[in-house]
Amino acid sequence: MKQTHARIAPLACSLLAGCLIAGTVHAEDFYRGKQLKLIVGSDAGGGYDAYARLLARHWPNFIPGQPTIVVQNMPGASSMRALNEVANNAPKDGTVVAAVQNNIAFEPLLNISGSNENARFDPLVLSWIGAATKDTMIALVWHASRIKTIEDAIKGPANVGTSGPATSTSITARMFNSSIGTKFNLIQGYKSQTEMNLAIERGEVDGVVGVQYVTIATGRPDWLAEKKIRLLAQVGQEKHPAMPDVPLLRDLIKSTETRQEVDLAFASTSMGRPMLAPGGLPAERIKTLRDAFMAAYQSPALRADADKLKLEVIPMRGEDVHKLLAECYASPKTVVERVKAALAGDKS
C-alpha cells in the first residue's frame, strides 16, 4: 500500500502542476493582444480614480498575455451606474472590470442611498477581484477641546462637523452615539473636509467623526506630528498599524448584538477601493485576474508609485471580499433593520 501511495503522490503533483500550467497558458492565449476595459464608478481626479489608474499602470505586467488596459470613468449614483453596467451589459469573459465605491456593494441590503430599487445587481453573484486598501475612519478632536478621551465624549456633548446627513461624518457619529452613548452633536453645512478642518482649527467645532485616517495623515500631517489633535477612537475590524494605542469602536461595545450592528454598518471599510467583474466568468479567468491583482499590489514598483501619490495600499483578496459580503448578507434581519434605521438617521 505504501508503494501505491508513493506512486500516486508524484502523479497527483504532476497532474496539478500540469493543470496550473495549462490554466496559465490558456489565460495567456486569451489575453494576448486584447484590450481590458476598467470602468471607474467615480469622476476623474478623485481618490477612486487614482487607485484605478495606479493599478492600470501595473496590472498588465502580471496578467498572462499582458493586455492593454483602458480606463473609462462612469460616475453616477455613488457607482451604481457603473456597477449596473458591468453586472448587466458587460461581456462575461474577463475583458471588462470595474472599480467602484465600497458602499455600493451593500446597497441592496442596507439601502444607504434610499433608492436601492435602482440597484440591478446581486453582490454575491458578481466576481470580486480584490480591494486595494482598508478605510480606517477616526474620531478626532482639536488639542484645545475639553474632550480628551472617548469617555469624555460619553460624559458630555461634543460638537462635530459634517457636510450632510448621508455622509460618512454624520453616519459614523450617529453610530457612535447609538452604540456606546457618546453625545456627538452634529453641526452640518460644511461643504468639504477642508472647510471642516478650518472649523476645527478655529474652535467652531470640537472635531470630526468619520474622517479617514489617511486623509489626515496625507492632507494634514502636521496635525499628527505636532499633536494638534487627539485621536479618540478608530473604526474597523482591526487597528490601523499607525494607531496601536487608539481604541477600536467595536472593542468599546459591550452588547454582542450592538457589535454586530456596528460591524455590519462599517463592513465596507474593510474593502476599500474594490474591483469586480461580471458574474458568470470562467473560474480560471477569475483566478487569473485575482492572482494578478494581488501580485500587482504587492509589487515594489506599484508600491513605490503609490508612495509618490500618497495612496495607502493594504490589499484584500477577492475571495475575502466575497466572504465578507456573504457574511454581511446573512446577518439577522433585526440587525439589518436597526443598521438601516441608523444609517438613515432615524433616531426612534
Average pLDDT of the chain is: 90
Neighbour count for residue 79 (Cβ, 10 Å) = 25
The whole-number pLDDT of residue 5 equals: 45
Question: Using one digit for the tens of pLDDT, what is the confidence trace for 29-76?
Answer: 899 999 999 999 988 988 889 999 999 999 999 999 999 999 999 998
**Architecture in CATH of 32-134+273-333:** 3-Layer(aba) Sandwich (3.40)
**55 with 297: CB under 8 angstroms?**
yes
Report the DSSP beta bridge partners of residue 236: none
- Angstrom CA distances, 206 to 119, 173, 228, 296, stand at 38, 13, 12, 41
The whole-number pLDDT of residue 234 equals: 97
User: Side by side, which strands form the sheet with 272-277?
Assistant: 68-73, 35-40, 96-99, 272-277, 127-133, 316-317
Question: Distance between CA atoms of 204 and 194, rounded to whole angstroms?
Answer: 14
The whole-number pLDDT of residue 193 equals: 85
Q: Does 20 score more than 60 pLDDT?
A: no
Nearest to 195 by CA among 184, 208, 186: 208
Q: Which residues contact 3 (CB under 8 A, 6 or more apart)?
A: none
Listed by start position, the domains of the chain span 1-25, 32-134+273-333, 137-235
Instruction: Label residue 250 by pLDDT band (50, 70, 90).
Output: very high
Judge if 32-134+273-333 and 137-235 fold alike in CATH terms.
yes
Answer whether 0.85 is exceeded by the pTM: no
The whole-number pLDDT of residue 24 equals: 58
Q: CATH for 137-235, among 3.40.190.10, 3.30.413.10, 3.30.1280.10, 3.40.50.300? A: 3.40.190.10
Instruction: Label residue 249 by pLDDT band (50, 70, 90).
Output: very high
Q: Which residue has the cell 509618490?
A: 308
Sign of CA dihedral 13, 14, 15, 19: positive
What secondary structure letter does DSSP report for 76? -
Q: Which residue has the cell 436601492?
A: 116
What number is the average pLDDT over the span 196-207? Answer: 96
The whole-number pLDDT of residue 8 equals: 47
Report the DSSP beta bridge partners of residue 231: 140
DSSP letter string, 312-337: ----EEHHHHHHHHHHHHTS-HHHHH
The whole-number pLDDT of residue 166 equals: 67
What number is the average pLDDT over the span 151-159? Answer: 96
Q: Phi and psi dihedrals of 228, rounded to 5?
A: -80, -15
- CA-based R_g, the chain, Å: 22
Q: Beta strand pairing status for 35-40 and 96-99?
A: parallel
